[in-house]
Amino acid sequence: MSRLGIIGIVIVAIFVLVALFAPWIATHPVGDTDLMTRYIGPSAAHWFGTDSTGRDIFSRVVFGARISLEVGIIVVSVSVVIGTIIGSLAGYYGGWLDRFLSGYLFNVFLAFPGLLLAIAVVAFLGAGLNKLIFALCVIGWVGYARLIRAQVLKVREYDFVQAAHALGAGDLRIMAVHILPNAIQPLIVQASLGMAGAVLSEASLSFLGLGVPPPAPSWGVMIEEARDLSTLQAAPHALIFPGLAIALTVLAFNFIGDGLREYLDPRQRRR
| Cα gap 95→117, rounded to integer Å | 29
Least distance in angstroms from the C-beta of 4 to other proteins: 8
Q: Closer to other proteins at the Cβ: 184 or 251? A: 251
Least distance in angstroms from the C-beta of 240 to other proteins: 7
- For the chain, how long is the longest CA-to-CA vector? 77
Q: Closer to other proteins at the Cβ: 119 or 129? A: 119
Q: Closer to other proteins at the Cβ: 67 or 226? A: 226
Cis peptide before 29 (omega within 30 of 0): no
Residues in the chain: 271
Residue 244: HSE in the Cβ half-sphere, 13 Å Cα cutoff? 12
Least distance in angstroms from the C-beta of 139 to other proteins: 11
Least distance in angstroms from the C-beta of 181 to other proteins: 28
Q: Closer to other proteins at the Cβ: 164 or 208? A: 208
Cis peptide before 214 (omega within 30 of 0): no
Least distance in angstroms from the C-beta of 175 to other proteins: 27
| Cα gap 24→174, rounded to integer Å | 48
Q: Closer to other proteins at the Cβ: 128 or 186? A: 128
Q: Closer to other proteins at the Cβ: 79 or 254? A: 254
Residue 57 · residue 222 · CB < 8 Å: yes
| Cα gap 208→240, rounded to integer Å | 18
Residues of this chain that interact with other proteins (CB under 8 A) are 4, 103-104, 107-108, 111-116, 119-121, 123-126, 196, 200, 203-204, 207-210, 220, 223-224, 226-227, 229, 232-233, 236, 239-240, 243, 246-247, 250-251, 254-255, 258
Q: Closer to other proteins at the Cβ: 9 or 226? A: 226
Phi-psi region of 33 (alpha: psi -120 to 50; beta: other; left: phi over 0): beta
Least distance in angstroms from the C-beta of 46 to other proteins: 20
Sign of CA dihedral 31, 36, 41, 44: negative
Least distance in angstroms from the C-beta of 167 to other proteins: 34
Residue 242 · residue 223 · CB < 8 Å: yes
Helix H or strand E encompassing 55 = none
